[in-house]
Structure 1
Amino acid sequence: MTSSGLSPRAALSEAKEMLGPGTDTTSATLAHILWALAHNPAYQDDLFGDLARAGFPQSMNGTGNGGGSSGLDAVPTLKACVKEGVRWAGAAAAMLPRVVPDGGVVLEGVWVPGGTVVSSSPIWYLRDKTAFPNPDEYDPYRWLGEADGGRRLLSSEVALRDRYYIPFSKGSNVCIGAHPRPYDRGAAAISFSYYELYLAVSHVVRNFRIRLPADVDEQLLPPEQQQQQRRQQRQYSRGLLSTISANYSSTTGSFQPVPLPPRREWVAAVPTQKLAIVLEER
């Protein structure tokens, strides 16, 4: 880049923008998702069942190993799980400055002159209490409808949520990881970031049961959830969680929304505790 006349400082900044956002953001989001799933064995089994019925797909629109014709994009419980994880973790929490064009603009009745730098963080929208009730809780069911066993993704009914769901920013400066992969076509086109998360979560859930370690810090959970968590851990340790049946499906009543772990700062995805989990081979 420097050979094109770009200063070393600007070149370094561009390089960081290309490398950084695709590493910590994805890994932090995946860690939060798996930790949340560890609190909810029932949702794990529901997700495992949906993946099994789809033939454990390896691509967005390809064929599953089990002979199914569905892709990852056709598993609503997986999409809801990942979409809620992206919203909940808020890994890309940096301020996103924009310069007001010449001529100025009126924002919410306030005149802002041209050349003014305005900025906000995606996390402010992702934690909006109107668009996302109980925003600090991980609850994939906020993206699932009641019809068809709770597996149908909502669409027009959540216009406000869709408007405020901007984890990758918006407009011409949207994160490059949010662009559809160039070799994807049609309705199955998906961003590289989502493909990474869909594939990672599906592989983990397919091969492992996820649970919390025996010494998990339960202080984050209300007393009734602490008690249920202990019961779930005992069930895992005794091997009492049976293999799911073909027609098994969980309900919102059995799902325990997971509170956001403490963080160094409100607008950071750096928790002050380890998001420890245990993977048990299926």
Structure 2
Amino acid sequence: MSFLPLQIIMLGYIVFALIVVYLLIEFLVVPVYQYFRDPKGLRRFPTLDRFAGFTNLSFMIEAHRGFRSKKLSTLHKIHPVIRTGPNSLSYGDAQAIKDIYGHNTRCIKDGQYIVTAGTHYHLADVIDRHDHGRKRKVLSSAYALKNLEEWEFKVADKTARLIKHFDAVATVPESTVDYRAWTNFFSLDAIADIGLSHRLGFLDAGDDCCLSERLDGFATEVNFRECLYAVARAQSGIVWSYDWYKTLVKITRAISPYYRILWKLSDNWDGIVLHLARERLKRYEAGEKLDDFFTSLMEDKGGKIQSLEWGEIVAEVNIMMNAGSTTTAIAMANVMFQLLKNPRHLAILREEIDSVVEPDETVVSYDKVRHLPYLRACLDESMRLFPPTAHGLPRVTPEEGWVINGDFISGGTTVAMSAFVAHRDEKVFPEPEKFKPERWLGEEGKALQPYFVAFSAGARGCIGRNISYLEQTVLLASVLRRYEFELPHPGWEPERMETMNLHLGPLPLKVWRRKFSQESD
């Protein structure tokens, strides 16, 4: 009777011992052996910390601290190249941009985009060049610069709705608005209208409650931003070990209360996208003729059916609602903060805007301000200082290897350059920590453009940058023309957290109407 339990106990000890041996070999013996064997010659580069040459855990820990690009920026002041993991390098010299991201590079998106992709790739994560070209061709007409005139009335509508709320707040002495939240409501309402002809109504309601739908059709009410940002928070903490990412997702779902909440919210985000896509499909199948991105996914300009799989359509709606809202909202909040922190530049910009806007113009016409040099300079300088997507977008060198900034790197090596780091290269951007919009003016400003990677660079650069500039320009010109803003107190700084984007926390601003000496507004 006692023999069987003892046998089971012994078997348990053996299994445990085997697991321990496996873990020691997998996470200690093999990494140490590979480090000293050094088949790719990466030991010549300084490391993020003393362990980064052996394990990706170092970069994961840094990611959980909330601002890994800032740490890299500090290290790159000393070292042009840093080894951030056993098979990954970070670059600090802006001259490396063209070799990693330029039009002629042989480097392609690396394994991160594979392990985080859903059942179907979207434009931002597809790796295959042919497939990327096909997707870009499908969407290029919708994102074309000539279409901005067709989208402007939608952006103007959202600007008017935001102004309606600000007008109400501005009548109450010492009242404040969370500019970060309201610009996010703006960008979400705008991209939903532009992309899906859908009215989210966040600006009207003053919150982001919406529906998340399961595959079986059951829907529940959730908060849009909470779900959207949970996806990047979860991925950015554990994705850096690609071979183990899927396993880490399962482990963190099972044992971490923090990650369990994030993954649940991430599931709800998938449900939000599914609900929006299904609602738009119903309208398309009902015969509504709507001029938006969704129509471009369904048929070309001549009306020929694109015949995309439903999963691919949902994936494109996903990235449109994500990237099409997040980075623009971050940029809008950042530029307002920088201008309030630097009142001299704010005064120059206001004078430029006032010179072209009519006294009774509430929502500023894009055509009047799109070519204002100082306005564009302020937007670009703010995105230089705090690029909405700050981290290094990872690429992998081709099988035969690749020369980066004059140095040969073996094939299959992950390489990246953080926009936050690139924009602080003092050889290109003197006094990099200062907000200096004038650096973007004239011929000197044109010379800086190859090193401005807020929208990435090369063939994989952001396809929606024109829409982002449209939204940023119209909103900023309109609110600066109409209101005075003030930070909570001198020296106030927002909280910042880097996930896949560099987010800033709430931006509570005092707001009141501007006074004009010779006109009533």
TM-score by length of 2: 0.35
Q: 1:46 to 1:110 in 2, by over 3 A?
A: closer
Partner of 1:80: 377
CA contact (8 A) 1:105 1:112 kept: yes
Give the Å deviation of 1:198: 0.8
Give matches, 1:242-257, under 5 Å.
none
Identity of aligned residues (%): 29
Counterpart pick for 2:480 among 199, 205, 209: 205
Q: Is the partner of 1:118 in helix, strand or coil?
A: strand
Give the Å deviation of 1:281: 0.8
> Are 1:277 and 2:504 matched, yes or no?
no
CA contact (8 A) 1:47 1:78 kept: yes
Query: What per-residue deviation string (whole Å, max 9, x for no partner) do you get for residues 50-101 of structure 1?
Result: 22222355123xxxxxxxxxx3133222111111122122111243122333
Partner of 1:54: 356
Q: Is the partner of 2:468 in helix, strand or coil?
A: helix
Instruction: Say which structure is richer in helix.
Output: 2
CA contact (8 A) 1:32 1:275 kept: no
TM-score by length of 1: 0.61
> Are 1:131 and 2:364 matched, yes or no?
no
> Are 1:45 and 2:45 matched, yes or no?
no
Q: 1:111 to 1:46 in 2, by over 3 A?
A: closer
Cα distance in 2, alignment partners of residues 12 and 128 from structure 1? 39
Cα distance in 2, alignment partners of residues 158 and 48 from structure 1? 21
Give the Å deviation of 1:193: 1.1
Partner of 2:456: 169
Counterpart pick for 2:415 among 78, 94, 118: 118
For structure 1, which runs of at least 5 residues remain unmatched after alignment? 61-70, 144-152, 179-190, 221-260
CA contact (8 A) 2:389 2:500 kept: no
Aligned CA RMSD, in angstroms, stands at 3.1
Give the Å deviation of 1:28: 1.2
Give the Å deviation of 1:14: 5.0
The one-letter code matched in structure 1 to 2:435 is Y
CA contact (8 A) 1:129 1:135 kept: yes
The one-letter code matched in structure 1 to 2:491 is E
Counterpart pick for 2:497 among 264, 271, 277: 264
Q: Is the partner of 2:323 in helix, strand or coil?
A: coil
Q: Is the partner of 1:218 in helix, strand or coil?
A: coil
Query: What per-residue deviation string (whole Å, max 9, x for no partner) do you get for residues 102-142 of structure 1?
Result: 43222234333344332222222122222222323322233
Number of residue-to-residue matches in the alignment:
205
CA contact (8 A) 1:37 1:210 kept: no
Query: What per-residue deviation string (whole Å, max 9, x for no partner) do you get for residues 26-64 of structure 1?
Result: 11111111122223444333322222222355123xxxx
> Are 1:24 and 2:321 matched, yes or no?
no
Is the radius of gyration larger for structure 1 or structure 2?
A: 2
Cα distance in 1, alignment partners of residues 427 and 507 from structure 2? 28
